Structure 1
């Protein structure tokens, strides 16, 4: 019996398959960078220096530590978490799609907020300390990103950061980072994404409910690409004329949008929203779930145009905001686009946060000013320098947000273009 002929996928199927696959490519690219470029190694903690802005979309208000955990059916890996009180912290565990598996902290684990966490492969039964909090991983690899709030005592936060330790037994079998094509945030991958697609997906169990359908779509496109150079060229053309434009259009406003801001309330657990997952992995990889942090991305001024570093903008918060919206803290950070790194400026000021001594207006409101030079109306602490002649993006983070934000009833004020 002859096999069914391989047919050309529809343009819509190519676009859907590409958007699905792109999220996995982004995380795999980060894995390759962390392991092969930075060379930290598996089951080793990288204690990021306070104030470090080396990685994408950094939050400069916490002491970070990160690690790639690798387990197998015979071996578990443990993380020791110190006792932390009086400041925000969480141990965020993610899969290789950027989906959040768990957050360990005093809110989610009142009976085990610190001490030993044991990571094991789901379905396996390695020997584990009976007093450990066990986290089952859907695949053999996971990413840990722990945050400890700096508050006004960064030295104490760093001391706590250094008390996190990881322990791995000998003999864990670890696959090298998967092969992915070279690409950047300005030069996205073309048909080469599908040449590695099926092998890449085979390394990555996916919690997305509709994962099987999307995975089959990726395989179908990959099979067609392999039939001939003409087929590959046809798929490449669809990627560059339809899939990439659709993705980039999405980055300019996704999820819930208001006042020039966007927010994805599905961040960290995306359901079947392949576009939101790809966008978040692109611009804010390792985003947490909204119960821990809500991320409002500001990209449009009141004039409807993308934010321009040569212009002056005012964000005027109502009395007591954003403080009244969080149980932990908030921060507003400015990033370059499209690479989402902080922008150098003479003040070395990249964000404004809960610890800032902001000047209030006569009516009780608080204005944050965005401009290349400090506006005459702005108190020094209220000014965030912008990159003249370049675009930029904002990220307002609310850590442990209160009900109005969690329910979507509150949104950041408009980013008012003043001049």
Structure 2
């Protein structure tokens, strides 16, 4: 019997530990701690937002109609009017979603689970024979009597986040009127869950070991539907148990998070998980539904929460110029689309580009209160049919006003380019926007 076995036997004889005690469990490796943390953080980013929503005044199964531009999320979409809700259904109650008839613009009603995974969308693309009217959103297997002609959509979970989007287009007042015609109502009185009490942290100061202290609250009652990630969840729970009443292990885990997990998140953030960078633009490999790529899920939940799936929208993130330099308001930049590859070629519905800061991913204040470039800023085309967009503190002399997005002096930033209804190379993953050329 070696010294370790003798010590364990003595502890057992004295009753100081039991066979199932965390003190005798195999210690998680540094890699397991880091991976479990990144996995768990993706869920904590959702519970963080859920708590903020209900503190603001959200009520289950009630829509909040936002004024255009009045959402406080990372990487907001300023092309649409948003309506938001948290929906609860159970074995005896469905939620009826009323969708107005919309023929002249993009819209969708998106449902996501508590991990940021898209569960369903309601729009004319998915329901071409029934794009408007009442839809019954129900818990899978629920036996609820509904009118015979009502479209039923089953969810695999009893609680979901809802976002309705209506494109503003060139008639924002009409979009807002349509937005307010979306309705929710429960058919009964569903069981309402407790809102998980987990850390509400600033996005520029992610939690350390305290993330694992919230593991049970975050994971209980919200299944991760991604098959193959069971070990990550089991590791998160085991680490939570191991740090309880163990200052030494708590300190070790905290150190691993801050030295290893944060570094992994930073490195993976450049490519949005398992994405690809070309021309200084990162294209995510997965978005809206993530499979085994929990790193991408966590990164998107952090930098662009409530992302939809690729058939609805594809996002590119621009973080470098053509020479690999970081983007900053100390320089001016341009990007040029040739006549045969204009942004409109790659988007069935609309395209846009915004600039956000590198920490909170919020749009940048500027004297013009202009926060995006799109068709509604009326960009002008070159004599050869090309389109050049500019990003600079001061408008370059040869830049048409509608082609210029103001950037605060000295501000580090990144760009988000959206293609709604991806087409051609955006849809099949062969296209990247043109490189940003530094002008000064």
Q: TM bucket by the smaller chain?
A: over 0.9
C-alpha contact 1:265 1:290 (8 A) present in aligned 2? no
Aligned counterpart, 1:2: 19
CA RMSD of aligned residues (A): 1.5
Q: Which has the larger displacement, 22-31 or 318-327?
A: 318-327
C-alpha contact 1:35 1:42 (8 A) present in aligned 2? no
Identify the match of residue 115 of structure 1 among 112, 130, 133. 133
Could you list the per-position Cα deviations for residues 130-157 of structure 1 after superposition, in whole angstroms to 9, with x for gaps in the alignment? 3222222222210111111111111111
C-alpha contact 2:73 2:305 (8 A) present in aligned 1? no
How many angstroms apart in 2 are the aligned matches of 1:238 and 1:122?
A: 40
Shift of residue 256, structure 1, vs aligned partner: 1.7
C-alpha contact 1:138 1:205 (8 A) present in aligned 2? no
How many angstroms apart in 1 are the aligned matches of 2:41 and 2:232?
A: 12
Aligned counterpart, 1:168: 186
C-alpha contact 2:335 2:388 (8 A) present in aligned 1? yes
Aligned counterpart, 1:33: 52
Identify the match of residue 277 of structure 1 among 288, 293, 297. 297
C-alpha contact 1:342 1:350 (8 A) present in aligned 2? yes
How many angstroms apart in 2 are the aligned matches of 1:216 and 1:123?
A: 28
TM-score, length-scaled by structure 1: 0.96
How many angstroms apart in 2 are the aligned matches of 1:180 and 1:249?
A: 26
Count of residues paired in the alignment? 418
Aligned counterpart, 1:90: 108
Aligned counterpart, 1:286: 306
Q: Which has the larger radius of gyration?
A: 2
How many angstroms apart in 2 are the aligned matches of 1:208 and 1:56?
A: 24
Gaps of 5+ in 1: none
TM-score, length-scaled by structure 2: 0.92
How many angstroms apart in 1 are the aligned matches of 2:121 and 2:147?
A: 20
C-alpha contact 1:116 1:131 (8 A) present in aligned 2? no
**Is 1:367 aligned to residue 388 of structure 2?**
yes
Aligned counterpart, 2:39: 20
Aligned counterpart, 2:362: 341
Gaps of 5+ in 2: 1-17
Could you list the per-position Cα deviations for residues 313-358 of structure 1 after superposition, in whole angstroms to 9, with x for gaps in the alignment? 1111111510111111111111122111111111110001123321
Q: Which has the larger displacement, 285-294 or 169-178?
A: 169-178
How many angstroms apart in 1 are the aligned matches of 2:308 and 2:175?
A: 20
Q: Any residues of structure 2 matched to 1:407-418 within 5 Å, and which?
A: 407-418=428-439
Q: Which has the larger displacement, 156-165 or 359-368?
A: 359-368
Q: Any residues of structure 2 matched to 1:195-206 within 5 Å, and which?
A: 195-206=213-224
Aligned to 1:355, the other structure's residue is in SS state helix
Identify the match of residue 214 of structure 1 among 198, 223, 232. 232
Aligned counterpart, 2:329: 309
Measured at CA, do residues 378 and 53 of structure 1 come closer, stay the same or move farther in structure 2, by a change above 3 Å? farther
How many angstroms apart in 1 are the aligned matches of 2:339 and 2:227?
A: 42
Aligned to 1:178, the other structure's residue is in SS state coil
How many angstroms apart in 2 are the aligned matches of 1:323 and 1:361?
A: 15
Identify the match of residue 345 of structure 2 among 324, 327, 335. 324
Identify the match of residue 390 of structure 1 among 389, 411, 414. 411
C-alpha contact 2:280 2:324 (8 A) present in aligned 1? yes
Aligned to 1:134, the other structure's residue is in SS state strand
